[in-house]
Amino acid sequence: MKQTPPSRVRPAMAGTAPFAALVVLLSGGCAGSKLSQNTEAELRRSMLNALQREIAQSEGTESPRELGSPSPDTSKLEIRPEHLDQIEQEYSTVADVARVAARTPEGVDPLATLAGDNLMGLPTQTLGVSLERAIQTAVANNLNAEFARYAPAINQATIVEAEAAFDWLLFGSATYQDSSVPRASQGFGGSGSGVIREQSEVFSAAAGLRRTLTTGGSLGLTHTLGSTNVGTSFFGSEPTPNPARNAGFEVELSQPLLRGFGESVNTAEIRLARNAERSSVADLRAQLIDTVTETERAYWTLVQRYQELVIYTRLLERGEQVRDDIKARRVQDARQAQVADAVARVERRRADVLRARQALRRASDNLKQLVNDPDLPVGSETLLIPADGPTAESVSVSLLDAITTAVAERPELDQALLTIDDAQIREQVARNLRKPRLDLQAEARLLGLDDTYGNAYEDSVSNRFIDEWLIGIAFEQPIGNRAGEAAFRRARLQRMQSVVSYRRAVQGVVLDVKTALDNVITSHDLIEQSTLSRIAQGEALRTLGVEKELTNLGYTVERLNVELNQQESLAGAQIAEAAAVISYNTALADLYAAMGTTLERSRIDLIVPDANQLEPGEAPMDYVVDPAPDAE
């Protein structure tokens, strides 16, 4: 599988990328800060120095390091070229894999034979899987990634909810009252004249619009409509007009002038919700990077366990041959203790094969859990086998480029910057809440009354009756204002703490990059050393085999025991070589994860759709995997 060199993954802004990104943040995000100039300058310097300290030594002095495809220098081993070819054909892991496949009957999976029966006591069924397919399936189905992808959609809904606080509100009400109340009536000359009944029908309705303003105030527009019809009995008097129709208009405005005033204060929840949505996208990106990296590590572990099973199986076969040779020499010089020792060593190798089978099944199940393929659940006894082998391709690495790329790409640093912005927003709100409360209240009401609604409207529009004009202010200030001052001090300290958290995140990212890069370089160098060791062990075993064929000395029990020892040494060298190559591929995966470019390397595009545009039941996040091969 082709590896993209880290040096080809360039940061968005070369050279001064981290500083340019921070300048944008500080000039835009911090411009609205109410901190004192000294404190603001201190925070700026702290954030910029966090990066400058980490790359000061390598900036301008480092050159990329080329890690070529390992080609071991076999001259130090003093082995003839023709013997080298024979060693590669007889004593390499690749040769052992080919030999196992060649001796398997046609139509039978060689790995199924090696793996033995499954947990149900049936022959093992196998399924080949490539690294690319494993990654794509994991990205689409991994449960951790599926859980994380809901967060951006949830936070998008939170943004809409916060914005809706400033939407217009339509309200309305209506009442109807019908009453008939008896009361005593005074007759002529003071004499009692009986009881009269006072009847009335009252209807009232109101409708209007109201909204909260981004400046912190509220505005209300109300239209009222009413009707009163009064009737009496036994010579009771009636009002005029009767029925009476009324119509009115009312405007109310309240506006804070100090505490609670300003768009930046009243839209703080919207800005925090937007930051939360951005943070959730960064968190999702981090989860996908972890998922891809864990999947790749699990895949290479599967490859390693498969190779170990082949190596241990081949070691067992070689041991059985030598054991049989020692048994055959019972009639000559083999003692019973020597025969028993050979049998015991073969049985230990058989146990190694059994443990290797178990390790392969565990690696297969771990990969199943990560990819979470619906057609291949963890409970399935189908054994995954790797279709891709490890590679040791050439890459170009640079510590400065890797750190610069990581600062530009790592989602953890994006989240740290958003945390600083959140702290700044809360500080702005806390600073405003220190101010006294000084609120403006204004109200105007127009009223029209007549025998018809038309005349009532005409009265209200012509300002014939002005029911009310009101304007006033209200003041409030806690003595000492301890709560407001303490809240502001807390918010300011939290903002300073967020900058320290950013510095800590930068330091952690740099450490991740250095550790990953060191692992890449070390594992690359170990490939050559382990290959030379395996070749030398193969030469020793080859030489013993030649002596065994040409002389009778090779058939002594002591010499056969030496051959057993050498077989185990060769198997250990093969396992070490396979582990070195696997470690190199795993270290590359870790390096790309440390730089934050894992998704780009795997050609995975993360698309965050508008959650409000999704159909019911539609997934809130989509992943686009570019199936096209690398142009390079």
Instruction: Tell me the mean pLDDT in the region 557-584.
Output: 91
Asked whether the predicted pLDDT for residue 109 surpasses 90, the reply is: no
Residue 528 is predicted with a pLDDT of: 87
Q: What is the pLDDT of residue 269?
A: 93
Q: What is the pLDDT of residue 177?
A: 87
Strands 65-67 and 383-386: unpaired
Instruction: Please report, in angstroms and rounded to a whole number, the separation of the first and last CA atoms in the chain.
Output: 12
d(Cα 153, Cα 607) in Å, to the nearest integer? 12
Which burial class, exposed, middle or buried, applies to 7 when counting CB atoms under 10 A from its CB (0-12, 13-18, 19+)? Answer: middle
Phi-psi region of 571 (alpha: psi -120 to 50; beta: other; left: phi over 0): alpha
User: What's the rounded Cα separation, in Å, for the pair 137 and 118?
Assistant: 24
Q: Mean per-residue pLDDT for 78-96?
A: 79
Would you state the pLDDT for residue 8?
Answer: 36
Share of the chain above pLDDT 90, in %: 38
What six digits make up the tokens of 235? 């010579």
Residue 399 has pLDDT above 50, yes or no: yes
305/189: higher pLDDT:
305
Helices 150-163 and 268-328 cross at an angle (nearest 10°) of 180
- Let me know the angle formed at the C-alpha of 466 by 465 and 469, rounded to the nearest 5 degrees: 175
Q: What is the pLDDT of residue 77?
A: 73
Q: Average pLDDT in the 585-605 region?
A: 91
Q: Kindly compute the dihedral angle of the four CA atoms of residues 525, 530, 535, 538, in this order, to the nearest 10 degrees.
A: 180
How far apart CA 228 and CA 245 sit, in angstroms, is: 7
- Across all residues in the chain, what is the average pLDDT? 80
More confident: 43 or 589: 589
The CA distance from 623 to 629, in Å, is 17
Residue 299 has pLDDT above 60, yes or no: yes
3 state SS of 4: coil
Question: Is the pLDDT reported for residue 594 higher than 70?
Answer: yes
Q: What is the pLDDT of residues 21-52, one digit of tens each?
A: 444 344 444 433 333 444 555 655 666 666 66
Dist. CA 348–CA 443, nearest whole Å: 95
Q: Which of 23-32, 145-154, 163-172, 306-315 has the lowest mean pLDDT?
A: 23-32
Q: How many whole angstroms separate alpha carbon 583 and alpha carbon 578?
A: 8
pLDDT exceeds cutoff 70 at 60: no
- pLDDT > 90? residue 490: yes
Taking only the tens place, the pLDDT of each residue in 424-475 is: 999 999 999 999 999 999 998 888 877 787 777 777 766 655 566 889 999 9
The pTM is what?
Answer: 0.79
Residue with more model confidence, 615 or 26: 615
Q: Lowest-pLDDT range, 14-23, 47-56, 115-124, 525-534?
A: 14-23
Q: Averaged over 364-376, what is the pLDDT? A: 91
- The residue among 486 and 143 whose pLDDT is bigger is 486
pLDDT (tens digit per residue) in 242-287: 788 888 889 999 999 999 999 999 999 999 999 999 999 999 899 9
DSSP letter at 629 equals: P
199 — phi, psi (to 5°)?
Answer: -110, 145
Q: Are 115 and 361 in contact (CB under 8 A)?
A: yes
What's residue 630's pLDDT? 43
Over residues 542-554, the pLDDT tens digits come to 888 888 777 665 5
SS3 letters across 130-192:
CHHHHHHHHHHHCHHHHHHCHHHHHHHHHHHHHHHHHCCEEEEEEEEEEEEEEEEEECHHHCE
Q: Contact at 8 Å (CB) between 199 and 242?
A: no
- What is the percent of the chain with per-residue pLDDT over 70, rounded to a whole number? 77
Give the single-character DSSP code of 389. -
Please tell me the distance from the alpha carbon of residue 113 to that of residue 385, in angstroms, as a whole number.
13
Neighbour tally for 430: CB within 10 Å: 22
Cα–Cα distance measured from residue 134 to residue 300, given in angstroms and rounded to the nearest whole number: 11
**DSSP H helices in 551-624:** 557-595, 598-601
